[in-house]
Structure 1
Amino acid sequence: MTTRTLAGRRALVVGGTTGIGRGIADAWAAAGADVVVCGRSRPTGPGASALRWERLDLTDTDGAGAMLGRIAGARLDLACFSAVSYGDRRAGFDDVAVGEWRTQLDINVHGLWLTLKAALPRLRAAGPGLFLGVSSEVVYNAGPGRSGYTASKAAAKALLDSVAQEEDENRVRIVQVLPAGMVDSPGIRRRRPLDFDYSSYMVPADFARVAVDLAVTAGSGHHGDSLVVDSGGDWWSVTERLPVSQSRPVRT
């Protein structure tokens, strides 16, 4: 039987302060990994003391690459990219400022590119290492009011799909995960009314099981795959069933 411990493994989670990335970071740390999380704010709350934090701002495109190279260090077994810019709110194309669009590209696409550049050499040396990308249902469904988010997340998926086809899975495995529904997170809460009911939303901890399942096997059998994670932690490949759209009409 495959052991569930990650003791002795070193992990990096970019965008691991909150949200899905935090759920993955907490799961890896609870399983024994040495986890470094990167983000603009320090992780807080239960489990934060088990994480090492490095401040990273992916909109600083000149300095972020060098910073990621330093943070990745000389050894890395697991890496996750979960940083994301949703935009200020759901809005039609004409109502989105160019600055918001550029931020989405800087974080969702260029940030991923920089993370891959820093992490892949170390993950190959782990023989094999795991690179986990956090994707979105918009990649498959698009939808009104999310053009920048959709385009940047689709580009991120295509980038990881392409790199997965280049990589020898005996050296590094690339897997993507995405939520089946909306996830309760600080980023989402900033975009909702104060009295919003989150009882139907997923939580970051729903990603714990898939994160550990993939980590203990370094993604064996799932290289190049995208896995949809449901509330409670069940998951399946997009080759079996595509995620349901979370789009809704844009208020005018």
Structure 2
Amino acid sequence: MTSLAGRRMIVVGGTTGIGRGIADAWAAAGADVVVCGRSRPADPGRLRWERVDLTEPDHARDRLAALGAGPVHAVCFSSVYYGEGRADFRDVSIGEWRAQLAVNVTGLWITLQAFLPALRDAGPGLVVGVSSEVAFNAGPGRSGYAASKAAAKTLLDSIAQEEDEVRVVQVLPAGMVDTPGIRRRRPVGFDYSSYMTPSCFARVATELAATSGEGRHGDSLVVDGDGGWWSAYDRPPVSQSRRPV
């Protein structure tokens, strides 16, 4: 088994969903893991929780900066605001657009500002960004979400080109993932049997942490339901929004 003992990891947006799957995998491998989010994680086990609300930027900046004052070997950014539901651009409010930018883009910016110095000291540290296929495909009825995720991807791509002492890798699901956020948007009785689960990210998260992303710097990895992965630049992810032509 891979051991991450002695390493300190931060997962922003790690109380549920893909972030929680990554946090659990790192903790199971022996890392000291702090998850950041608005709500306390259920059944946290070895995880430690820090309340961070990315919609309150001054608060978030202060809390994350305090966490970044100590040694940090890896940071995962998994926070996301999807929006109220799929809707055409003309039907989306400016308030929803601002909320998507506040979490999906500005939240990532604040996180990078807080942790990059400590990650450089780790030599090399690792940033794992949880991305989405919409960053490659856009998506009808998801314009704000797609635009903000594309902005987040490009921000991380730019950081990857700037940094020599921090490795940056993005991961994204090949299909829909059964998470609390998705369940809030589905009808009662919906069949999730074809959906991925957050635990599908355990293998890739553990390998990236163990190697500090060696050989994957600047890459975007598409993770499938079996826990395998491939580069999005070798095989683009399939759109979950577009209608077949």
Q: Which amino acid aligns with 1:244?
A: V
| Count of paired positions | 243
Correspondence list, 1:6-25, <5 A: 6-25=4-23
Question: Cα distance, 1:248 vs. partner?
Answer: 5.2
Question: Cα distance, 1:229 vs. partner?
Answer: 0.2
Question: Cα distance, 1:129 vs. partner?
Answer: 0.7
Question: Cα distance, 1:71 vs. partner?
Answer: 2.0
| Other-structure match for 2:53 | 57
TM-score relative to the length of structure 2: 0.97
Match of 1:31 among 20, 29, 32: 29
1:203 aligns with 2:197: yes
1:239 aligns with 2:237: no
Question: Cα distance, 1:14 vs. partner?
Answer: 0.1
Q: Which amino acid aligns with 2:17?
A: G
Identical-residue share of aligned pairs (%) = 70
- d(CA) in 1 for partners of 2:158, 2:109: 12
SS at structure 2 position matched to 1:243: coil
- d(CA) in 2 for partners of 1:172, 1:15: 20
| Other-structure match for 1:151 | 147
1:194 aligns with 2:192: no
SS at structure 1 position matched to 2:177: coil
Correspondence list, 1:17-96, <5 A: 17-45=15-43, 48-96=44-92
After TM superposition, the structure 1 stretch with the greater mean CA deviation from structure 2, 150-159 or 65-74, is 65-74
Match of 2:108 among 106, 109, 112: 112
- d(CA) in 1 for partners of 2:69, 2:21: 23
Q: Which amino acid aligns with 1:148?
A: G
1:213 aligns with 2:213: no
Runs of 4+ in 1 over 3 A off after TM superposition: none
- d(CA) in 2 for partners of 1:42, 1:180: 28
Q: Which amino acid aligns with 2:51?
A: R
What runs of 5+ residues in structure 1 fail to find an aligned partner?
none
SS at structure 2 position matched to 1:8: coil
Q: Which amino acid aligns with 1:227?
A: L
Question: Cα distance, 1:95 vs. partner?
Answer: 1.0
TM-score relative to the length of structure 1: 0.95
Q: Is the 8 Å Cα contact of residues 12 and 72 (structure 1) preserved in structure 2? A: no
